[in-house]
């Protein structure tokens, strides 16, 4: 099959845009830094203008002109409807059931949507120390649904994660319910190659849509477990001109701002 680049967009652009399409104007979304932030802001700038974006630092209804490097970026507070204390953010908004979508990234992910962002290798003697969980563990259990986005690789999508940072569906099935967690957990995984949804019974992530030009073999080659594909496998619609322009303009503004070359706000 042809490569996505031959079609005028990259796999990462397809991933970000596919993720943005899952969001709606009436969503209240707890946004992770990185790819989730890009997807949420593309949604806000295109089909979901009324989406409420919340970042962990306490900014509510933020509408950044550039993507933040961290939750503490001034851009988030400057454009927010309001900023609340972090304890209020977690207790009232998140644990109070007011977040419809928690949007997370992952360093390691297993087939049941469990996330590791803590260590690679043994916890006491890790090969790599990762940034940690931050608020992600609470987002994973208290948001009504969780969306995950990440680029596929055998190093990232593994049979067994090295550390449970954010709980997905545990061992599968009704594991969340047995632990007394009454939220839906991960309901969507968007990678640079495909869209995945959990099986209704086993909760194992299953490929439901391949991005344009992507084969089943490519998905399997970049995944550390045996991939299951839906019987009715769709093809993800290619990015529209508006979606691509919105994402690329956002990334260009971000690059200029972080390089210190931006002169005021971009048009």
Residue 267 pLDDT grade (very low, low, confident, very high; cuts 50, 70, 90): very low
Predicted local distance difference test score (pLDDT) of residue 2: 47
CB atoms within 10 A of CB 233: 13
Q: Catalytic residues, which ones?
A: 56
Q: Residue 157 sits in a domain of what CATH number?
A: 3.40.1080.10
User: Is position 267 within any domain?
Assistant: no
Tokens describing residue 134: 């931050």
Q: Alpha-carbon distance 192 to 152, whole Å?
A: 6
Residue 260 pLDDT grade (very low, low, confident, very high; cuts 50, 70, 90): low
Task: Please check whether residue 175 is in contact with residue 184, taking contact to mean a CB–CB distance below 8 angstroms.
Answer: no
User: Is position 223 within any domain?
Assistant: yes
User: Is position 252 within any domain?
Assistant: yes
User: Is position 265 within any domain?
Assistant: no
User: Is position 264 within any domain?
Assistant: no
Reported as a single tens digit per residue, the pLDDT across 184-227 is 999 999 999 999 999 999 999 999 999 999 999 999 999 999 99
Q: How big is the chain by its Cα radius of gyration, in Å?
A: 18
Predicted local distance difference test score (pLDDT) of residue 85: 95
User: Is position 263 within any domain?
Assistant: no
Tokens describing residue 40: 């949420």
User: Is position 224 within any domain?
Assistant: yes
Domain of residue 235, residue span: 4-258
Reported as a single tens digit per residue, the pLDDT across 29-44 is 999 888 889 999 999 9
Number of domains in the chain: 1
Q: Say whether pLDDT at 90 is over 60.
A: yes
Task: Please check whether residue 147 is in contact with residue 102, taking contact to mean a CB–CB distance below 8 angstroms.
Answer: yes
Q: Say whether pLDDT at 262 is over 50.
A: no
CB atoms within 10 A of CB 15: 26
User: Is position 266 within any domain?
Assistant: no
Q: How far is CA 181 from CA 23, 30, 66, 132, in A?
A: 23, 18, 35, 22
pLDDT, average across residues 165-186: 97
- % of the chain at pLDDT higher than 90: 86
Predicted local distance difference test score (pLDDT) of residue 266: 45
């Amino acid at each position: 099959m042809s490569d996505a680049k031959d079609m005028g967009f990259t796999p990462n652009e397809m991933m970000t845009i596919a993720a943005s399409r899952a969001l709606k104007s009436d969503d209240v979304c707890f946004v992770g830094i990185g790819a989730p932030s890009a997807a949420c802001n593309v949604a806000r700038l295109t089909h979901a203008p009324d989406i409420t974006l919340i970042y962990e630092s306490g900014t509510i209804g933020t509408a950044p002109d550039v993507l933040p490097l961290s939750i503490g970026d001034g851009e988030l507070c400057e454009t927010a409807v309001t900023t609340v204390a972090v304890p209020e953010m977690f207790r009232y908004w998140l644990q109070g059931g007011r977040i419809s979508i928690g949007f997370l990234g992952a360093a390691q992910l297993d087939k049941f949507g469990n996330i590791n962002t803590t260590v690679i290798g043994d916890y006491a003697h890790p090969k790599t120390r990762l940034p940690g969980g931050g608020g992600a563990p609470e987002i994973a259990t208290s948001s009504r649904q969780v969306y995950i986005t990440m680029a596929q690789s055998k190093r990232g999508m593994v049979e067994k994660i090295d550390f449970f940072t954010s709980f997905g569906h545990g061992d599968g099935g009704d594991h969340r319910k047995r632990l007394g967690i009454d939220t839906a957990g991960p309901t969507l995984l968007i990678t640079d190659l495909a869209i995945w949804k959990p099986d209704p019974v086993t909760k194992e992530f299953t490929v439901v849509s391949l991005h344009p030009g992507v084969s089943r073999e490519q998905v399997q080659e970049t995944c550390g477990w045996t991939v299951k594909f839906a019987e009715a496998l769709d093809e993800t619609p290619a990015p529209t001109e508006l979606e691509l322009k919105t994402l690329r303009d956002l990334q260009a503004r971000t690059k200029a701002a972080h390089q210190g070359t931006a002169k005021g706000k971009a048009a």
